Copies of this chain bind each other. A is one copy, B any other.
Amino acid sequence: MDKVTQIKSATLTDDLTQRLTAEIVEGVLPLGSKISEPELAKRYGVSRGPLREALVKLEALGLITRTANVGARVIELNIEDLLDIYTLREAMEGMAARLAAELISEEEVNELYKLLDDHQAHLDANQDEHYVSQYGNEDFHLRIIQASQNKKLIRALTQDLYATIRMYRRYTADSRPDPRQALREHKAILDAVANREGDLAELLMRRHISRAANLLKKAMLQNSISQGNTGQP
């Protein structure tokens, strides 16, 4: 609890939003658990005012649900919602890849090739494979999204959707696609982007995400995710 104690922010509401988001993603606040305003306020040493504003934000992010006069609960995870999210990602990141192919700069393309080379080297050396397959994957996708230069698209994906995605990631760590296969697909996408083939880039990105979704679906049908770690005895 002391590794991220220092959070600098202008307002308590922003602090709380960040900290609560982190706690939900990390599982400190278990899925489906009730959120008690007095308890949380006491825990963070703040009043209920800023806390409630943070809860409104978390609700907008889709991390909690709130019902009037009853209270807030952390959302539950289920297969349908996760597949819905992947379908949305397919549409939005597919478009991002298309736009990136039209707008990306040569320097950025070179940087991305370097990034993928790094991933390849890590995989070959079997160093920190976990890091590469998780954060490296996210990194590539985020770069493509940024390269789209579409502010609304960037905001929707990086601020709204990815909070939920990181949350699901915690409970689907064992059913991830083969990182080498993912890297091959990333390279194919980047080739299409570099060649300014928007249609192909979109097609490949959609296929890439769709494939990941299918793997997740298969894995989760056997190993239901609702039995996941609750993080609190």
Residues of A whose CB lies within 8 Å of any CB of B are 10-11, 13-14, 49, 52-53, 56-57, 60-62, 68-69, 80-81, 84-85, 87-88, 90-92, 94-95, 99, 150-153, 155-156, 160-161
Contacts and interface: CB of A to CB of B under 8 A. Distances in A.
Contacts of A52: 53
A54 to B, nearest CB: 9
- So how many copies of this chain end up in the complex? 2
Contact of A151 (B60, B84, B161): B84
Contact of A91 (B81, B84, B94): B94
Contacts of A49: 49
A154 to B, nearest CB: 9
27 contacts: A10-B68, A11-B68, A11-B69, A13-B56, A52-B53, A53-B53, A53-B56, A56-B56, A60-B61, A81-B152, A85-B152, A87-B95, A87-B99, A87-B150, A87-B153, A88-B92, A88-B152, A88-B156, A90-B95, A91-B91, A91-B92, A91-B94, A91-B153, A92-B92, A156-B156, A156-B160, A160-B160
Given A91-B92, A92-B91, A84 B152 contact: yes
Nearest to A99: B87
Nearest to A83: B150
Interface SS of A by simple majority: helix
The 4 closest A-B pairs by CB, nearest first: A60-B60, A91-B95, A10-B68, A84-B152
A144 B150 CA distance: 24
Contacts of A69: 10-11
A91 B206 CA distance: 11
Contacts of A10: 68-69
Nearest to A157: B88
Contact of A88 (B68, B85, B153): B153
Nearest to A70: B10
Nearest to A152: B84
Contacts of A95: 87-88, 90-91
Given A60-B61, A88-B153, 14 more contacts: A11-B69, A56-B56, A56-B57, A60-B60, A81-B151, A84-B150, A84-B153, A85-B152, A87-B95, A88-B150, A88-B152, A91-B95, A152-B161, A156-B156
